[in-house]
Amino acid sequence: MGERAIKLPDVGEGVAEAELVEWHVKIGDAVREDDIVAAVMTDKATVEIPAPCDGEIAWLGADVGDVVAVGSVIVRIRTGEAGSDEDPTPKPMDDGAEEALIADGLSGEGEDLPPPPATEPETVDRKPAKDAAPREPSLKRPTRPVAATSADKPLASPAVRLRARDAGIDLRQVAGSGPAGRITHDDLDQFVAKGPKAASPAGLMRRTDVEDIKLVGLRRKIAEKMAIAKRHIPHITYVEEVDMSALEDLRAALNRDKRQDQPKLTLLPFLMRAMVKAIAAQPQFNSHFDDEANIIHRHGGVHIGIAAQTPSGLVVPVAKHCEARDLWEYAAEVGRLSDAAKSGTATREELSGSTITITSLGALGGIVTTPVINHPEVAIIGVNKMAIRPHWDGTAFVPRRMMNLSCSFDHRIIDGHDAAVFVQRIKTLLETPAMIFVA
């Protein structure tokens, strides 16, 4: 019996390490060539690692959430071939790196990493020769559904676990049809189709199970950045009510008369333009604060981050040089960046370099939010839900489209008076949208 090693490949130019976010196998599982054994994450792109040959999983070299250096052995496969191309003794992993290279979806900051440590030459053949004769598989993966016992932690991917948790399904009751009883989305569909089992005459079930979910990948990075922002930045949040009626009428007219090659205008392009004009009068809001060096980096270019919700979590693609764009260019760039973020194709450059951020919950937005500043920036603008509400015009109550802006500031750098002046300037521009177009 021999062994083959799977090393973490070079998953991208300049990437020295990646975070292990999912195992598709466990020790003892039978695998075939090109089966996916693991998934790693870097720059918010998930890369799947295939098996180079048929065999049985003999050793796993990392836990989910661990940072793995490029070239490190992460899996050993026991094969039926004589000899071994690797030392069969499991080798401890290099744990010198403690943080995965993941594009910073909340800070937009990144640093160059040192080159990966020297490793032994790659010995894994990824693909068979084209003229190789077909062969019968030496091992077969289990195909019969296997139900997990109450003492076992069911095997399932994070996506399956999330779906089951949202549906209130105990995975221990679901029979898995994947390798070693792994539960798939099809297994969940079949379980739901059969209907829930009655656990008591009243139709209610007492649950005592506790699921431990380790924060990995983008979710861990979000948690770290939120903790840094709240721990280091003393927030002051200012909320202002804005009458959006005139702007909404203008937006509808512009969309009605736009050319076919022009994108549809949403609220964001108008807000971005209003922010650019307000920043021109108060440039300190377009800054980064280095609290270790006590230096404020005031930026001339306005690079607006647009917080976007994706299947993987919150990321912040950045519209660069908004001071040199018009409304239609804003709309086109926001649409392009949003599509790239949601599809996971946004580059590191598109997810970094913001100098001030907009966050919006869209139609889900409430009356007021208290947005967390995108460290190391000093200001963030939060868009709340727009609704028709009665508004006193001096003589009577009239229906108007009203919206609250929730704006948070770094109180070490921004005084309350300056924050109020900044938001009032944005309010004036949005309520009198013709002023947006005045130089």
Q: Tell me which residues are annotated as active site.
A: 411, 415
**Crossing angle of helices 245-257 and 267-281, rounded to 10°:** 120
CA separation for the pair 436, 426 (Å, rounded): 10
CA angle, residues 153, 76, 114, in degrees to nearest 5? 100
Structure tokens at 11: 């998953």
From the list 46, 315, 41, 64, the residue with the least C-alpha distance to 214 is: 64
Residues 314 and 219 sit within 8 Å (Cβ to Cβ): no
User: Which stretches within 287-396 are classed as H helix?
Assistant: 327-343
Q: State phi, psi for 176 to the nearest 5 degrees.
A: -95, 140
User: Which stretches within 46-156 are classed as H helix?
Assistant: none
CA separation for the pair 67, 98 (Å, rounded): 6
From the list 29, 19, 17, 34, the residue with the least C-alpha distance to 60 is: 29
Gyration radius from the chain CA atoms: 27
CA separation for the pair 110, 332 (Å, rounded): 26
CA separation for the pair 312, 105 (Å, rounded): 11
DSSP state of 280: H
Residues 298 and 376 sit within 8 Å (Cβ to Cβ): no
Structure tokens at 143: 């195909």
* Concatenated DSSP letters of 393-437: -SSSEEEEEEEEEEEEEETTT--HHHHHHHHHHHHHHHHSGGGGG
Helix (H, G, I), strand (E, B) or coil at 352: coil
* Concatenated DSSP letters of 28-46: T-EE-TT-EEEEEEETTEE
User: β-pairing, 397-410 with 387-392?
Assistant: antiparallel
Structure tokens at 193: 């189709």
Q: Which helix or strand (DSSP H or E) is residue 167 part of? A: helix 158-167
